[in-house]
Amino acid sequence: MKQKPDLNFWKLFNISFGFFGVQIAYALQSANISRIFATLGADPHQLSFFWILPPLMGMLVQPLIGMMSDKTWCRFGRRIPYLFVGAIIAVAVMLMLPNAGSLGLTTQVVMWGLTGTMLFGLMSLMFLDTSINIAMQPFKMMVGDMVNIRQKGLAYSIQSFLCNAGSLVGYLFPYIFTFLGVKNTAPEGVIPNSVIYSFYIGAAILILCVIYTTVNVKEYSPEEMAAFGAEEAEPIPSSVSVAPQHKVSIPYTFFSIGLVQFFCWAAFMYMWTYTPGAIAAQCWGTTDVASEGYQAAANWVGVVFAVQAVGSMLWAMLIPLFRTLKLAYVVSLVVGGLGFISVFWVHDQYVLWISFLLIGAAWAGMLALPFTLFTNALQGNPKMGTYLGLFNCTICLPQIVAAVVGSPLLKSLTPEGGEAPQVEMLVIAGILLLVGAVCVIFIKERK
C-alpha cells in the first residue's frame, strides 16, 4: 500500500497559511461582537443571545461542507474551492457589519425587542460566521487529506501557530488604530472608526492569505488518494452508526473528546461574551457603553486576547514535551481554568496579562490536541471531511447551550437593582475548564 510522503516544512506551512487570514477575521468577530452590540444598545443580559448565531451556523455549515467536499473533485482541488468561496463572502460581510450604526437605520424596536440597527448587525453576523466556517473547515480537512500520521502533530502545531498569530493581529487592530490617532469613540449607537478600519484591513489580509494558499497548494488527485487507501489504518472502535446503510460509524473517540469539548467551548463562549463588560467594570469602573472608559476597556480586550494568543503560542511549544497527549490536555485546561478564575481579583489592566497568559494554555490545548487525537483515530478513513464536519458539532453545540443559559444565569447573579456582575461569568468559565480537565480521563488515545 502506497504511503503519503513526508512533506517539508514549507509545504506544511503553505497548507495552513490561509488560516492566518481566516483567524484574523474570526478574532475581530470574537473580540468585537459584544462591543458592537452593546454600542448598538443591547442590554448586558441580552449579549449571550447574540452569540447563539455563530456556533449555530457553524454546526449547520461545517458538516455540510465536509460531506460536499468529500465528493468534490475539480481542477481547483477538493477543499480549496470551498475555502475560496467562504473567504469572498467573509470579505463582503466584513465591509458591512461595522457600519451597522452608520446606515441611518431605525433605532426603534421593530421585532423581538431588537432595533433595526441590531437586526442588520445580527444578519451580518450570521453571514460572517457562516462564511468564516466555510473557509475555516477546509484547512483542517487538508491536513487530514495530505499529511501522514507521522507528521500530523507537526502539521496541526503549525496550523495552531498560524491561528494564534492571526488572532494576535486581529485582536490588536482596534488598539493599534487608536494609538495611531483613529477615533475610538463615536456618537451613541455608532461603531467607532477604530473598529471599522480594523474590519476593513482584516478583510484585505484575509483574501490575500487565501489566494496564497490557493496558488501554492496542490491537493492530491482522486487517483493518488485511492492509491494511499487506508494508509496506516487500524480498526476503529465504533459506538454508533450515522448511516448504517453506508456503514459510516462514529468512533468512541468522538464522544469522549466531545465531552471535554463541551465544557471547554462553553467556557470560551463566556469569555468572548462577557470580557468587555467585566474588564470595564473591574479596571475602569464603568458600565456606560458610550463612555470613553468603556471604549478604552473594549480596546484593552483586544490587548488581553492578544496576550492570550501569545500565551497559547508559547504553551504550544511545550505541548510536545509532555509524555502523552492526554497529560498535555489535562494540564493545559487546569492552567487555563485558574487563569479565568483569577480575573475575579484583578483590578489593574496590566495584571490581567498574567490571567490571560494562563488562559492561553487552555486555548493552545484546545486548538491542537482534540483534532490530533481524533484524526489519529480516523487515519486512512475516506470520509475524513464528513467526520471532521460532524466533529465541529462538539465545538458549536456547547457554545449554543452556553449562550442560551448565559442570560438567565447572569440574571440570577445580578443583585436587585444592581449592575450585572459579568466578571462572575468568567469565574464560571474557569470552573467549566476544570471539569473538562477531569473528563479527559475518558479519552482512549491511539498509540
CATH of the domain at 323: 1.20.1250.20
Separation CA 95–CA 202 (nearest Å): 10
Q: Is residue 432 included in any domain, yes or no?
A: yes
Helix, strand, coil proportions of the chain in percent (round to 5)?
Answer: 75, 5, 20
Q: What is the pLDDT of residue 232?
A: 44
Domain tally, the chain? 1
CB 103 within 8 A of CB 120: yes
Q: Is residue 231 included in any domain, yes or no?
A: no
Q: What is the pLDDT of residue 240?
A: 40
Q: Is residue 237 included in any domain, yes or no?
A: no
Model pTM?
A: 0.75
- pLDDT digit string (tens) for the chain, length 447 residues: 577 888 888 888 988 888 899 999 988 988 888 888 887 777 776 777 777 877 777 777 777 777 777 777 777 777 888 888 889 999 998 988 888 766 666 556 555 566 667 777 777 878 888 888 788 878 777 877 788 877 877 887 788 788 878 888 999 999 999 999 999 887 877 888 999 999 999 999 999 998 998 888 888 777 777 777 644 433 333 344 444 444 445 667 778 899 999 999 999 999 999 999 999 999 999 888 878 888 899 899 999 999 998 998 899 889 889 988 899 999 999 999 999 999 999 999 999 999 999 999 999 899 878 877 877 766 655 566 667 667 778 888 899 899 899 989 999 999 887 888 999 999 999 999 999 999 999 887 665
Q: What is the pLDDT of residue 154?
A: 82
Grid coordinates representing 196?
471599522
Query: What SS3 state is found at 77?
Result: strand
Separation CA 198–CA 201 (nearest Å): 5
Separation CA 145–CA 217 (nearest Å): 12
Host domain of residue 336: 9-219+242-442
| Percentage, residues of the chain above pLDDT 90 | 32
Q: Is residue 226 included in any domain, yes or no?
A: no
Buried b (16+ CB within 10 A) or exposed e, 23-60: bbbbbbbbbbbbbbbbbbbbebbbbbbbbbbbbbbbbe
Q: What is the pLDDT of residue 199?
A: 93
Q: What is the pLDDT of residue 233?
A: 39
Q: Give Cα separations from 55 to 37, 246, 273, 384 (angstroms).
A: 17, 28, 13, 21
Q: What is the pLDDT of residue 327?
A: 93
Q: Is residue 414 included in any domain, yes or no?
A: yes
Q: Is residue 233 included in any domain, yes or no?
A: no
DSSP annotation string for 145-180:
HH--TTTHHHHHHHHHHHHHHHHHHHHHHHHHHHHT
Q: Is residue 385 included in any domain, yes or no?
A: yes
Q: Name the residue among 39, 89, 46, 313 with its Cα closest to residue 207.
A: 89
**DSSP β-ladder status, 109-111 and 238-243:** unpaired
Q: Is residue 248 included in any domain, yes or no?
A: yes
Q: What is the pLDDT of residue 126?
A: 80
